[in-house]
Amino acid sequence: MKFTFDIKSPQQQYIQITAEIKATGKETTVYFPAWRPGRYELGDFAKNVNHFQIFNGDGSALKYQKANKNTWIVQTEGCKTITVKYSYYATDLNAGSTFLDASQLYVNPVNCCLFTDESYNDPITVILNIPKSWKVAHSLKVKENSFTAANYDELADSPFICSAQLQKSTYEVDGTTFYIWFNGIVKPDWKRLENDFKAFTESQIKAFSKFPTDEYHFLIQILPYQTYHGVEHSKSTVITLGPSYAVFEEMYKELLGVSSHELYHTWNVKSIRPSEMVPYNFKKENYSELGYIAEGVTTYMGDLMLFKSGVFNLDQYLLEMNKQIQKHMDNFGRFNYSVADSSFDTWLDGYVAGAPGRKVSIYTEGCLLAFILDIQLLKYTDNQKNLDDVMRSMYLNFGARGKGVTEKDYQNEIEKLTGVSMQWYFDDYVHGTKAYTTLLIDCLEYIGIEYKNEPVESDFGAYLGAKIMEVNNETVIAALYPGGALDISGAMIGDKVISINEMAITNNADRWAKFYRREDKEIVINRKGALVNLHLTASKNEYYQRYFLKPAPSLDKDHIDAFDVWRNV
């Protein structure tokens, strides 16, 4: 196959793409990808296609019929090749999108490059008709604005940025060259950045024993507005971060966090891949229950590697763990739906919160379960083995050999180290909804970390059981604590708080709630235009809590030994 990219009118944000594909029979079926790696939900990229045309080798138009939203059946009898011409609307700028304006052409090929079964494994050439002043950031070798991919899988996994604003630096670890590319308005502190990136890279390679590829590219889009996103690829990652002025100041820890997370994905999910995704099937959903490994273990290890490498101190690391515990405790879906089922259902409702209390996050639950497993491994092996050993074995025995993994493979690798059955872990916590707060606290204590909680600062949250937010100067109930005071009184998500005990609410709901904390309350709410009175009886009950971790004030030798092995000292 051959793809040519033209950008004739970038202000219109349409990329003109020409695909030349071999044809071998009476009919050729052309597909547009239905999803992209790193985002296990349907993407429906074909919705951005315009001016779709198909021709044979002599330029004559061919007949075709659209079979479904991302599939075309082309009449190709007597044709050796076909040429497909179309425009792709590229207006979204995030870590997994395709974008065009006067300053850059940024492409995730899996968004906008079609394929056929017959040519899927053929070599692919890409030609870029871009301004001479533009550089190209890419994990494949670029020569005179063209590059080749071994097959469609490699093309789909190789995003690129073409821009005159690109800045680059490199560092090397164990024979692998790592490139850091910035695009956008940014003033990199290269020395600080290279030192920190090299440190967490060394820790990750040490954990796995070797790096999967001979080079790696951090493709970082710096934007002038608030954003945070990263997507993993085999030889690169794309990261979007902003605003520009904050990247090397208050958002620097986010830059480190997302970069470490995405680098860890090079092993975990790009190499250690669920068997349901070997190979990828871009025509439809690739259902898997292993999101708690792919994203959960990566979330845990991405931050832990920053701590192990010394880039984060213990307080900085615990702050990130605090966030995961807070998300876990605030999501009551943990009582209703397992992390394995939630992984399967990313294809159903994507990564949005969805129906309240229905599901959990594969990132948060997977992260905490990975921590619990890490500490259980320490306990069972007298502080000799941890989760690093499991993941290294998973990589060497499966990922490096191109073999997909199953949950049973994961369990077997764990039990080789523990020497005992870990079925309880999978039954109760991965596929079950058993509360694990007590187990989590025990694991934290094992390495000398104290778990604390206290009521949140918001009186509505702490004592009435509702999270509120200000929207257009109106106080809106955004979440309800099941069985909380407002839930029992009949409040609903979306209700607007009008008054408390006849006092009008004007961006001061928490202050009035605190004023009347230990008294009966009459609350008037606006529910879609109707005024509703709610009566709340005085109570000392507490609902939403704030959770935080801190080092224990003193540790005995056993705790110190466990902590040192956990940190890999």
pLDDT at 569: 63
End-to-end CA distance of the chain: 50
The partner residues of 470 in beta bridges, in order of sequence, read: 475
CATH number where 511 lies: 2.30.42.10
Final residue of a structural domain among 163, 195, 225: 163
Q: What is the pLDDT of residue 167?
A: 98
Residue 417 has what pLDDT? 97
**Residue 218 within any structural domain of the chain:** yes
Considering the domain architecture, whether residues 70 and 123 belong to the same structural domain is answered as yes
Domain-located, residue 354? yes
Task: Please report the pLDDT score of residue 481 as a whole number.
Answer: 97
Q: What are phi and psi of 515, to 5 degrees?
A: -60, -40
- Which residue positions in the chain have pLDDT lower than 70? 569
CB-CB contact of 271 with 212 (8 Å): yes
527 and 486 inside one domain: yes
Claim to verify: residue 322 and residue 367 sit in the same structural domain: yes
Residue 414 lies inside a defined structural domain of this protein: yes
Contacts of residue 464, defined as CB under 8 A and 6 or more positions apart, other chains included, come to: 484, 485, 486, 513, 536, 543
Q: Does one domain contain both 255 and 297?
A: no
199 and 151 inside one domain: no
Q: What is the number of structural domains in the chain? A: 4
Report pLDDT for 157: 97
Considering the domain boundaries, does residue 374 fall inside one? yes
How confident is the model at residue 329, as a pLDDT? 97
Same domain, 21 and 146: yes
Residue 75 lies in a domain: yes
Q: Are residues 218 and 304 in the same domain?
A: no
Last residue of a domain, which of 225, 241, 266? Answer: 266
- Pairing between strand 14-22 and 64-68? unpaired
CB 346 within 8 Å of CB 291: yes
Q: Are residues 53 and 116 in the same domain?
A: yes
- Domain of 512 in residue numbering reads as 459-543
Q: Domain ends where: 266, 288, 321?
A: 266
* Residue whose token pair is 């970082």: 220
HEC assignment per residue over 405-472: ECHHHHHHHHHHHHCCCCHHHHHHHHCCCCCCHHHHHHHHHHCCEEEEEEECCCHHHHHHCEEEEEEC
Q: Is residue 274 part of a domain?
A: yes
CATH number for the domain harbouring residue 100: 2.60.40.3650
The CA-CA-CA angle for residues 152, 154, 156, to 5°, reads: 65
In terms of Cα–Cα distance, which of 347, 276, 301 is closest to 35?
347
- 302 plus 374 within the same structural domain: yes
CA distance 510 to 22: 66
Q: Assign residue 310 the CATH number of its domain.
A: 1.10.390.10
In a domain, 326, yes or no: yes
Q: What pTM was estimated for this model as a whole?
A: 0.96
Rounded CA gap, 146 and 125, in Å? 7
CA 319/CA 146 separation, integer angstroms: 45
- 70 shares its domain with 159: yes
Do 182 and 118 share a structural domain?
no
Tokens 């044809």, residue? Answer: 23
- Residues with Cβ within 8 Å of residue 333, at least 6 apart in sequence: 342, 356, 357, 358, 359, 360
Whether residues 250 and 183 share a domain: the answer is: yes
Asked whether residue 549 is assigned to any structural domain, the reply reads no
